Structure formats: structure tokens, C-alpha cells
């Protein structure tokens, strides 16, 4: 799970699988770490038979029984706190911090909690899983869904998922939806960039009366700057790749690389 976890408890023969992270948990310590650090990924379906079976495998039969017979009366956060208390992987101070985090999450509406889960999945590169969450929220009815800014952010998040998976037309359509709802002044440039990604160096439909020629020229200038920066970053990677080579080969290749960069710069200045 990305960190060293010292495990002293019983190991499960049938691990608990976390699809959002693509990992299997074998011990109580690993389960504790997952709950403590990934609260936003956990929903009401968590205390199911899979979890209870896992707890029984790691010699936590009494804990599993308490959850089984109390889960209908207990909130999700009460169950999570009970698990952390009983497994004793975290200190009292850490449990206090976790409780404060749970309180903050519980104060938000259900749609906001779902969006936070989608955002957490997105940050971990689980773009299609995040997209399913955003679509789920948009299909629901509720107080948050009547908030245009909130719904606009959902459409932007959907667009980001499509863009990261190179579905640029779908991403553009999402941002167009968001712009109609919110008139967010930062969206036109993003929409223009998506058009460029599809080979169209022009404003998308609907922006003709919003973006004038001067602003479009600024979009193009910003894009050129990004390209130059990306080129510079690539050069840094090229140079870093030579660091492990032995002398005198390393010095010779550094000089060759520098000469090539100078030639590229001269061509760029005269083109």
C-alpha cells in the first residue's frame, strides 16, 4: 500500500480485496491502515460479509459478531472507529484525529461525500471508477444537485476523467455543459485546448461571442509556452538519463547533448 507496515497479527488465507486501490489486505494492521488513510473511499457497503469473514480469519471473531449484530443500529463511522479501537494499531491521539476527520466528513451532504470519493479515485488514477461516481451523483436528486456550481464542478470533473483517458470530444462536451451552467471564465481556454488536442486550432462552438481575437491569441501564446516547458522538461530527463554512465562516456555524451540542444535552439530562432 505504498508504506512499510509492521504486522504482528494473524494472516488471513482469504485476503480482503480493495478494488479502488487494487490491493489485498492480509492482516489487521493493513485493514487499520486502509481505514485510517482512505476514509473517503469507504461507503455504507463496507461492513459486509466479506469484511466479517476477514475479521474472523484474523482471530477477531468477537469484533465480527459485534459488527454483525449492531451494524443496522450503528453508523458507518461508528463501525470504522470500533474496528480501529479493537485492532489497536493506532494510538489514542491518532484515533482522536481520525474521529475529528469522521465528524467533518459526516457534516457534508451525501452527494458531496460521493464527489469526494470520486475525487480521491481520480487522484489515484482510477479515472473510470471516478467517472462512475460522478455519473451516479448526476443521476440522483437532492439539495446538492440543485446547486449549479456543484453540478458544474461535477461536469468539470467528468471532463477531466475523459481528458485523462484521451476521450477529448467527450471531455469537451462535459466542459461545455459546465460552462453553460456556471459561466466559469477559466473554462473557455480549457475547451480550446481540447479542440487543439483533436487537431482543431479554433474556438469550440458556443464561444464565438465570449472569446475575442485578443483573448484567443493569449490562449495560443499560453499553449506555446506550455509546449516549450514540456520540451525543457524532456531535456531534463534526457540529461538525467546520462548520470549513471561511466566516464569518459558520460562527459562525451553530455557534450553531444548540449551541441544538439544548441542546434535545435538556433533552428527554432530562425524558423
What value does the mean pLDDT take over residues 207-221? Answer: 91
Helix (H) or strand (E) holding 25: strand 23-25
* 3-state per-residue secondary structure call for 36-64: HHCHHHCCCCCCCHHHHHHHHHCCCHHHH
Residues in the chain: 271
- Domain 119-211 fold is 1.25.40
What does the pLDDT look like over 226-249, one tens digit per residue? 776 665 555 555 655 666 666 777
Contacting residues for 166 by C-beta, under 8 A, at least 6 apart: none
Task: Evaluate if pTM is beyond 0.85.
Answer: no
What does the pLDDT look like over 169-188, one tens digit per residue? 999 999 999 999 999 999 99
pLDDT of residue 70: 85
In angstroms, the CA 243 to CA 255 distance is 13
In angstroms, the CA 148 to CA 178 distance is 9
What does the pLDDT look like over 105-164, one tens digit per residue? 888 888 888 898 899 889 888 999 999 999 999 998 766 667 889 999 999 999 999 999
**At 133, phi and psi to the nearest 5?**
-65, -45
* In contact, 201 and 195? CB cutoff 8 Å: yes
Which of the two residues, 208 and 152, has the higher pLDDT score?
Answer: 152
Give the pLDDT band of residue 22 (cuts 50, 70, 90).
confident
Every domain of the chain and the residues it spans: 16-107, 119-211, 214-270
pLDDT of residue 19: 86
In angstroms, the CA 153 to CA 172 distance is 14
In this model, does residue 5 exceed pLDDT 60? no
What value does the mean pLDDT take over residues 36-64? Answer: 93
Of all residues in the chain, the percent with pLDDT exceeding 90 is: 54
Of all residues in the chain, the percent with pLDDT exceeding 70 is: 83
Give the pLDDT band of residue 193 (cuts 50, 70, 90).
very high
pLDDT of residue 258: 72
Q: Which long-range contacts (CB under 8 A, 24 or more apart) does 13-16 make?
A: 13/57, 14/53, 14/54, 14/57, 15/54, 16/50, 16/51, 16/54
pLDDT of residue 3: 55
pLDDT of residue 253: 74
Q: Does the CA dihedral 95-97-100-104 come out positive or negative?
A: negative
Amino acid at each position: 500500500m505504498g508504506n512499510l507496515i509492521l504486522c504482528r497479527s494473524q494472516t488471513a488465507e482469504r485476503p480482503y480485496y480493495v478494488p479502488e486501490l487494487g490491493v489485498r489486505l492480509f492482516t489487521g494492521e493493513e485493514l487499520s491502515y486502509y481505514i485510517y488513510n482512505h476514509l473517503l473511499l469507504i461507503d455504507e457497503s463496507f461492513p459486509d460479509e466479506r469484511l466479517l469473514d476477514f475479521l474472523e480469519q484474523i482471530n477477531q471473531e468477537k469484533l465480527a459478531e459485534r459488527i454483525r449484530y449492531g451494524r443496522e443500529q450503528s453508523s458507518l463511522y461508528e463501525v470504522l472507529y470500533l474496528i480501529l479501537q479493537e485492532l489497536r494499531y493506532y494510538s489514542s491521539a491518532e484515533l482522536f484525529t481520525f474521529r475529528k476527520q469522521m465528524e467533518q466528513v459526516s457534516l457534508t451532504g451525501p452527494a458531496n461525500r460521493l464527489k469526494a470519493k470520486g475525487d480521491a479515485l481520480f487522484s489515484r488514477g482510477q479515472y473510470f471508477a471516478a467517472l462512475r461516481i460522478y455519473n451516479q451523483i448526476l443521476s440522483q436528486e437532492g439539495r446538492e444537485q440543485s446547486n449549479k456550481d456543484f453540478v458544474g464542478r461535477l461536469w468539470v470533473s467528468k471532463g477531466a476523467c475523459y481528458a485523462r483517458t484521451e476521450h477529448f470530444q467527450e471531455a469537451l462536451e462535459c466542459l461545455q455543459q459546465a460552462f453553460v451552467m456556471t459561466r466559469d471564465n477559466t473554462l473557455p481556454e480549457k475547451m480550446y485546448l481540447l479542440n487543439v488536442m483533436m487537431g482543431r486550432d479554433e474556438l469550440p462552438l458556443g464561444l464565438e461571442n465570449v472569446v475575442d481575437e485578443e483573448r484567443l491569441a493569449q490562449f495560443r501564446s499560453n499553449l506555446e509556452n506550455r509546449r516549450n516547458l514540456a520540451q525543457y522538461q524532456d531535456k531534463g530527463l534526457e540529461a538525467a538519463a546520462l548520470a549513471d554512465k561511466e566516464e569518459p562516456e558520460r562527459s562525451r555524451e553530455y557534450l553531444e547533448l548540449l551541441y544538439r540542444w544548441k542546434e535545435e535552439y538556433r533552428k527554432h530562432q530562425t524558423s
